[in-house]
Amino acid sequence: MSQSELLVSARSTQPWWRSRTVRRFARHRLAMFGLAMIIILVLACVIGPFLLPFDDLYIDLRGRFSPPFTGYHFFGTDPLGRDIAARLLMAGRISLLVGFAAMLLSTVFGTVLGIAAGYFGGRIGTVLMRFVDAMLSFPNIFLLLAMAAFIKPSPIMITLIIAATSWMEIARIVEAEVRSLRERDFVVAARMLGLSNSHIMFRELLPNAIGPIIVAATLTVARAILLEAYVSFLGYGIQPPLPSWGNMLNGAQQYLDSAPWLAIVPGAAITLAVTSFNFIGDGLRDALDARSDML
Amino acid sequence: MLRYLLGRFWQSLILLLLVSMIGFAVLNLAPGGPLSQFSLTPGMTQADLDRIASQMGLDRPLPVQYIDWLGHLLRGDWGRSFRDGRAVLDIIWEHLLATMLLMGVSTAIAIFVGTLIGVLGALKRYSIFDYAATVGAMVALSIPTFWFGLIAIYIFSLRLRWLPAGNMYTIGDGSLGDYAVHLIMPSIVLALVNIAVWSRYMRTATLDVINQDFVRTARAKGLRPRRVLVRHILGNALLPMITLLGLQLPTILGGALVTETVFTWPGMGRLFLDSLGYSDYPVVMGLLMMSAVLVLVGNLAADLTVAFVDPRIRLS
């Protein structure tokens, strides 16, 4: 496809859902699988708890450690006799919500910082990006755990902490993108017109850098869900009785021999959700990458 | 060359300074700051807290405290453990070796397997193997390390009884073979993510090299395919991988923390979690700083290695 055709297609009036990008995304089989899985997971977590005959907090000490498919306990019960299926869905609400919220926060922060660093460049840009480098020198999980141990953990705090330790990659991507766009004609023109810095940054540069941001944001959801699972598994994330996919695994290791489903079920849910988001991210990258257009 | 080296050292020093500032900020994040562990002691009054604060120098302005803290850090005085009063740095040194062993073996596995998968994928591009490796890598990146560890323990130690479920050696044994048997599972579990990352990058790097003129020339002058593969393709494709290894260090260290927890491996990660459990903040802070320092040193080492191996940089 030639440059002029690209321009035409960008200006054409066809609805967005029939655009080249969307069609290319729809052809990506893994991404479609991921999208379907996420829709199913979200629907199950939103509606599912109303359909199950058990409450996620209902304790039944006589029915402890029931293996999967005992009566209506599709995934069995946990050490307190609570239904694992019910807990899994309620946990999904928390885990997915934390993942999404952390993604939103870190994407906004990373994008603003990245645009500022890339647009202003010079000393400001250097200082900001060195700060990003320094943050990236800490293994994510060490920083996360240290902060979670110092601060009283609540779902909101966990979200904030996860966001605070996962905005750096987006900032890097946006900074590189903006730095390459900064000298392009449309930016130079905007500057000559006397438009304000914030107008150039958020109305001119941001829309042109949106592709990589969307891809990075999708992958950040996957990572945020994983990080929540890690801290909660280690006991410093979401605190019981509130269930999350991570903290359901928290006590699972000691019962691994007698009740392996305690470990298998939530871990499979995490893997499914994270894989799906990674697939979607991969599909978006392929669909939004203009270079694959030119081939 | 010398100029490059000096620039790189200087860069690392600046980063180290920034890293220490972030560490100090985290330390002061706790409600009540570094004093929080005392405020929980029964019978502690505000006057007592104030006295301790002034004894520890916590009533001074933050920048002064930071300089003081940094000075102690640089002189090797990383504080004392709340748990047993021993020097933090000594405790960390004791656990460093176990972590290094785990990370080293695991990384060696990841490099070997990842290179194999990546190069094969690139040579047989768009084959079923290539496609399976791509999807497999994405799934491997999505599996929580601790869950993979639990599943491995369930299959290989609880059901099949082939491998020990944890620890570094059997008490009373401790032969080399015994260490090796204990290493197998944790190092493979820790390697999984890195195999995925490594194979992806290796595939791209190989594809970059494979179509270059010098590879065609080597083939055209009749070199055996194996020699072209090893000397011309691998030799060039592996070069950027050294940098990648440095960049992957935080991930590997973080993965080691989780792996050590699941396999009760007596390394830094295990120590970190134990110390968190005891609110042993000096050790927690020490480990946080140590992990960042290791990452910085590792990155510097990777860049220096590239500089020495790559004649384009060495001779410039």
Any idea where the domains of chain B sit in the sequence?
Answer: 1-75, 88-278
In sequence order, what are the beta bridge partners of B80?
Answer: B87
Peptide bond into A212 cis (omega under 30): no
Please indicate whether, in this complex, the C-beta atoms of A149 and B135 are within 8 angstroms of each other. no
State how far the Cα of A195 lies from the Cα of A197, in Å rounded to an integer: 7
Please say if the pLDDT value at position B221 is more than 50: yes
Q: Residue B36 — very low, low, confident or very high, per pLDDT cuts 50/70/90?
A: low
Please indicate whether, in this complex, the C-beta atoms of B253 and A142 are within 8 angstroms of each other. yes
Asked if residue A144 lies in contact with residue A151, where contact means CB atoms within 8 angstroms, the answer is: no
Is the minimum CB–CB distance between A29 and chain B shorter than 8 Å?
Answer: no
Token pair of A266 as six digits: 């939530």
3-state secondary structure of A43: helix
Is the minimum CB–CB distance between B62 and chain A shorter than 8 Å?
Answer: no
Residue A57, CB-side half-sphere exposure with 13 Å CA sphere? 4
Q: Name the residue in chain A with its Cα closest to that of B145.
A: A230
Those of residues 115-174 in A touching chain B at CB distance below 8 A are 130-131, 133-143, 145-147, 149-152
Please indicate whether, in this complex, the C-beta atoms of A282 and B138 are within 8 angstroms of each other. yes
Q: Select from A151, A249, A279 the Cβ nearest to the Cβ of B29.
A: A151
Please indicate whether, in this complex, the C-beta atoms of B144 and A271 are within 8 angstroms of each other. yes
State how far the Cα of A284 lies from the Cα of B122, in Å rounded to an integer: 23
Q: How far is A134 from chain B (nearest CA, A)?
A: 5
| DSSP 8-state secondary structure symbol assigned to residue A77 | B
Please indicate whether, in this complex, the C-beta atoms of A274 and B295 are within 8 angstroms of each other. no
Residue among A225, A227, A99, A268 nearest B255 (CA): A227
Those of residues 276-305 in B touching chain A at CB distance below 8 A are 276, 279, 281, 284-285, 287-288, 291-292, 295-296, 299
Per-residue model confidence as pLDDT tens for chain A (295 residues):
444 444 444 555 667 777 778 888 888 889 999 999 999 999 988 888 787 777 777 777 776 777 777 777 777 777 777 878 888 898 899 999 999 999 999 999 999 999 999 999 889 999 999 999 999 999 989 889 888 877 777 889 999 999 999 999 999 999 999 998 888 888 889 988 988 888 899 988 998 888 899 999 999 999 999 999 999 998 888 888 888 998 888 878 888 777 888 888 899 999 999 999 999 998 998 888 755 444 3
- Secondary structure of chain A: what % helix, strand, coil (to 5)? 75, 0, 25
Categorise residue A65: left if φ over 0, alpha if ψ from -120 to 50, beta otherwise: left
Report pLDDT digits (tens) over B269-282: 989 998 888 878 78
Chain A and chain B share a number of CB contacts under 8 A equal to 135
Amino acid symbol at B298: G
Give ipTM to 2 decimals.
Answer: 0.85
Asked if residue B27 lies in contact with residue A147, where contact means CB atoms within 8 angstroms, the answer is: no
Is the minimum CB–CB distance between B56 and chain A shorter than 8 Å?
Answer: no
Architecture of the B88-278 domain: Orthogonal Bundle (1.10)
Mutate which of A138, A165, A249 to disrupt the B interface (most B C-beta within 10 Å)? A138
State how far the Cα of A245 lies from the Cα of A268, in Å rounded to an integer: 10
pLDDT the model gives residue B73: 84
Q: Name the residue in chain A with its Cα closest to that of B14.
A: A130
Label each residue of chain B as H, E or C. Answer: CHHHHHHHHHHHHHHHHHHHHHHHHHHCCCCCHHHHHHHCCCCCCHHHHHHHHHHCCCCCCHHHHHHHHHHHHHCCCCCECCCCCCEHHHHHHHHHHHHHHHHHHHHHHHHHHHHHHHHHHHHCCCCHHHHHHHHHHHHHHHCCHHHHHHHHHHHHHHHCCCCCCCCCCCCCCCCHHHHHHHHHHHHHHHHHHHHHHHHHHHHHHHHHHHCCHHHHHHHHCCCCHHHHHHHHHHHHHCHHHHHHHHHHHHHHHHHHHHHHHHCCCCCHHHHHHHHHHCCCHHHHHHHHHHHHHHHHHHHHHHHHHHHHHCHHHHCC
